[in-house]
A = this chain, B = another copy of it.
Amino acid sequence: MRGSDQPSQTASGRSFAGIADNIRPGCAASTEIRLALASVADRSDMVRHKLEEQWPQRSGRLYSICRYALLPNGKLFRPVLLLESTAAVGGELASSLPAAAGAEYGHVASLIHDDIIDGDNLRRGRPSVQHKYGIDDAIVAGDALIFHLFANLAECRSTGVPDGYVVSALAAVARAGLDLCYGQALELEMCRNRHFDLESYMKMARLKTGALFRGACECGAILGGGSPKWVQQLAAYGEHLGLAFQIRDDVLPYVSDTETTGKPVTSDVDNGRLTLPVILAYKFAGQQEREGISAALSSSVDPVQTLDFLRGVLGRTGAVDMAVEMAGKYAEVSRQALQGLPFSPSRDRLEYFAELVIVRDR
């Protein structure tokens, strides 16, 4: 399915292949991942083509805003997970394609609304929707993309998916969306209450990020006609992969830079977000440093200065290393969830993703 006229766009874009290019040279897994991901580009190309097909250049403000948020596309991680999960249970990629694009709509909707809440002005290296178009239109655009997600799910009937599978997928996707919202609300609450608690963090991350990854894998497996056991396995895979992904996301401000990540590395501290490294540092810091952490995240001082301060404390307490280790453990659990699935290139790639998410720099 890869468009032969656009190979460079794929190689240089923010696709999986793009991520692989960005893995640090010193990383042991990088060569293996690079080889495996060459074929992943096919999947993300399929999704990108679907997005371009569903969102041609057209007038209309809300339409343009949605299009701006979707194209040029991001990593397309969730859509690719959905497609690989379909293929891993022996299903047809083409029949899951509308749902895969839908997974991106749901994800981008949450980014648009997140950026309003966080007041973030940069996303994927460009002005965020709320910054470019204002909060009012950003609220409506996020809502519209949620409805587009479900419209695309209904479209799977026309690609030959049996109605029963579509209804099961509907239930799974709605549940994932709900978990995402409850996770976002929990995160807001943790930030408000300055609740440096590991258990709350894990619950929040499982809901906020784990659920959408789980939903994508579960949906893909259901639409592909997977047995209940396989569907459950891929759901568990997705959830733990999502946890590993989120932890890596939390670590990024301490190991990457704004140019690479495409959003300000100061965003988390700027929003007083209780990320895993910070929570771990707080857990293992002395009383004085604890007060420093708490004050740093509460105050409205220069976020760059705050980030520098936190980098110091995180280094001394070994919090970043601990977080990296935890990400590794969740990635390992996600890999183990695949055991018993039929051997296939898709299963191999799902396994590689578990390596990829914990070494990515963006």
Binding site for B on A (CB under 8 A): 60-63, 65, 109-110, 113, 116-117, 135-137, 139-144, 146-148, 150-151, 153-155, 157, 162-164, 166-167, 170-171, 173-175, 177-178, 180-182, 184-186, 188-189
Contact for A150 among B140, B177, B188, CB less than 8 A: B177
Q: Chain B nearest CB: distance from A215 CB in Å?
A: 11
A188 touches B151 (CB 8 A): no
C-alpha spacing A177/B144, complex, angstroms: 7
Minimal Cβ-Cβ distance residue in B for A179: B147
B143 touches A117 (CB 8 A): no
Q: Which residues of B contact A113 (CB under 8 A)?
A: 139-140, 143
A185 touches B62 (CB 8 A): yes
9 pairs from A and B in contact (CB 8 Å cutoff)? A137-B185, A143-B146, A143-B181, A147-B178, A150-B174, A153-B170, A157-B167, A157-B171, A163-B164
Q: Which residues of B contact A178 (CB under 8 A)?
A: 144, 147-148, 151
Q: Chain B nearest CB: distance from A356 CB in Å?
A: 29
Q: Chain B nearest CB: distance from A191 CB in Å?
A: 10
Contact for A140 among B60, B153, B162, B188, CB less than 8 A: B188
A139 touches B117 (CB 8 A): yes
Contact for A181 among B140, B162, B171, B182, CB less than 8 A: B140
A146 touches B146 (CB 8 A): yes
Q: Which residues of B contact A62 (CB under 8 A)?
A: 181-182, 185-186
Q: Chain B nearest CB: distance from A184 CB in Å?
A: 5
C-alpha spacing A293/B166, complex, angstroms: 51
Known pairs A140-B181, A147-B177; list 7 more (Cβ under 8 Å).
A65-B185, A113-B139, A144-B178, A146-B146, A148-B174, A154-B171, A163-B164
In the A-B complex, the 5 residue pairs with the smallest Cβ-Cβ separation, listed nearest first, are A62-B185, A147-B177, A144-B181, A151-B174, A154-B171
Q: Which residues of B contact A184 (CB under 8 A)?
A: 140, 143
B188 touches A136 (CB 8 A): yes
Minimal Cβ-Cβ distance residue in B for A109: B143
C-alpha spacing A164/B164, complex, angstroms: 7
C-alpha spacing A84/B137, complex, angstroms: 34
Given contacts A150-B177, A175-B151, A177-B150, contact A61 B185 (CB under 8 A): yes
